[in-house]
Amino acid sequence: MKKSASSAKNGSNVLDGLSCLLADTYLLYLKTQNFHWNVSGPNFYSLHKMFEGQYEQLAEAADVLAERIRAIGEKAPGSFSEFLKMTSLEEAGDDLSAVGMIETLLKDHESLADAANRMIEAAQEEGDEVTADIMIARKTEHDKTAWMLRSSLEK
């Protein structure tokens, strides 16, 4: 993960991870909302509704992550330029099929689940059980969403 400005200042792996995960979560939120708006095809309605539930959950997750950063005593990143510098995700292409959208979101949720898993260990090493608990919840949610997306690709 890339270093955030606040974590470079105080050297905390937890703050670095939280800031990067916030950036990834926000980019995934935007990508999911884009897919909600632009999905088409025979599974339109079910995908439209599924993506809506996913972006709503991601918006809530971004708020939890930002508030944890603030509770630790740092300013949460909050601009697109900051997020783009910190994110490990890529923006989506303009003309993805419904299957391409699902595959893209699946890859991103798996990536965020891995990042949350790494953060659990980092938080525990720093004695930050609150952040570890938040990361367990994030990993659980990303694993569940990845399973649902993976299941949507099965024939």
3-state DSSP of the chain: CCCCHHHHHHCCHHHHHHHHHHHHHHHHHHHHHHHHHHCCCCCHHHHHHHHHHHHHHHHHHHHHHHHHHHHHCCCCCCCHHHHHHHCCCCCCCCCCCHHHHHHHHHHHHHHHHHHHHHHHHHHHHCCCHHHHHHHHHHHHHHHHHHHHHHHHHCC
pLDDT per residue as tens, the chain (155 positions): 443 443 333 447 899 999 999 999 999 999 999 999 999 999 999 999 999 999 999 999 999 999 999 999 999 999 999 999 999 999 998 889 999 999 999 999 999 999 999 999 999 999 999 999 999 999 999 999 999 999 999 98
Contact indicator for 21, 111 with CB cutoff of 8 Å: no
Tell me the CATH class for 8-153: mainly alpha
97: region left, alpha or beta (phi > 0 left; psi from -120 to 50 alpha) = beta
* For the chain, domain boundaries: 8-153
87: region left, alpha or beta (phi > 0 left; psi from -120 to 50 alpha) = beta
